[in-house]
Amino acid sequence: MSNTRTYSTLFCRLYDESAPIGSIGRGCHYSVFRSVEWLDVTRSQLELPEIHDFAVIWDEDPDTRVINVIERIYLAGLLSPIQFVGERKGFFTAIVAAKFYFWDDEQSTEAYVRALDDVLRTAVSGDVWTTEVGLFDRSPGSSHQTDLKGLIAANEHRSLTYVRNIDSLWGLGTKPPVEFQGPSPPELARPYFHPLGVEKA
């Protein structure tokens, strides 16, 4: 029987592991979600929307309140750089694309982290989560530009291999939807209205 669990009405669930497969971390498993974004990975405005796929890393005791937090991050316009999210031992971990992390100066990155903090402060009732922001670069030989913080309770090599495999399978991040790629749609002619309000034939 298929898993029909619903996490969110804002995000489409592409994949969901209901339990750990193999053994890494503390019962580590993951889900992949899709949103629609008008901001690219650097949070710059897009002319046309893109899809954004991101993964949530669960531990042995999944706290689905993290989805509510992600929804609020999305509505605040802060989600587009994020590729992995996890919650473990009171820490909310957001792993952003390295391109975003190094896109601007350090003050901009700090302002982004503070904005995430503001969202978390109101999103989780009766609990306090500490925000930590890491980065991920899928380019070969770029491990120096990847810092997973406390996303997974495993050594660096195993953690990095795990998230790279997820990214390899799903191509996380923002991207144009394949089914809509191609030439731009023609501009529609606007109807002419006579100054007196009579439409011209």
Domain positions in the chain: 12-180
Check if the beta carbon of residue 7 is closer than 8 Å to that of residue 20. no
- pTM for this predicted structure: 0.84
Per-residue pLDDT tens over the stretch 83-133: 999 988 888 999 999 999 999 888 899 999 999 999 988 877 667 788 999
Which positions ≥6 away from 17 have C-beta within 8 Å?
29, 30, 31, 58
Q: How far is C-alpha 4 from the chain's CA centre?
A: 22
CA distance 175 to 80: 10
- Phi-psi bin for 166: left (phi > 0), alpha (psi -120 to 50), beta? alpha
- Specify the residue for token string 């799903």: 170
Q: Which residues pair with 87 in a beta bridge?
A: 92
Closest CA to 115 of 92, 99, 131: 131
Q: What is the mean pLDDT of the chain?
A: 86
The structure tokens listed for 45 are 């405005």
